[in-house]
Amino acid sequence: MVRLTDFVTSGGCACKIGPHILQRVLDSVMPVTNDNVLADMTGADDAGIYKINDTTALVQTLDFFTPIVDDPNLFGKIAACNALSDVYAMGGTPLTAMNIVGFPVPLVEQGVLTDVLNGAASIVREAGAAIVGGHSIENKEPIYGMSVTGSVHPDRVWKNKGAQEGDVLILTKPIGTGIMSNALKGHLFSNGVAQAVTSMSRLNKYAADVARNYTIHACTDITGFSLVGHSVEMAIASNLTIHIYAESLPLFDDVVEGAQMGLVPAATYGNRKAITDVAMSDALDPVWSDIVFDPQTSGGLLLAIPIGESDRLLSDLHRAGVERAAIVGICESFSGLSVRVTK
Report the first-to-last Cα separation within the chain, whole angstroms. 44
User: CA geometry: angle at 313 spanning 222 and 228, to 5°?
Assistant: 25
User: CA geometry: angle at 184 spanning 182 and 185, to 5°?
Assistant: 65
Catalytic one of 13, 15, 219, 331: 13
Total residue count of the chain as it appears in this document: 343
Tell me the CA distances in angstroms from 19 to 84, 238, 254, 274, one per residue in order.
21, 19, 27, 6
d(C-alpha 174, C-alpha 172), whole Å? 7
Q: Alpha-carbon dihedral of residues 73, 77, 79, 85, nearest 10 degrees?
A: 180
Residue type, 76: G
Quick check: is 13 catalytic? yes
Would you tell me how many other CB atoms lie within 10 Å of the CB of residue 19?
A: 22
Residues marked as catalytic? 13
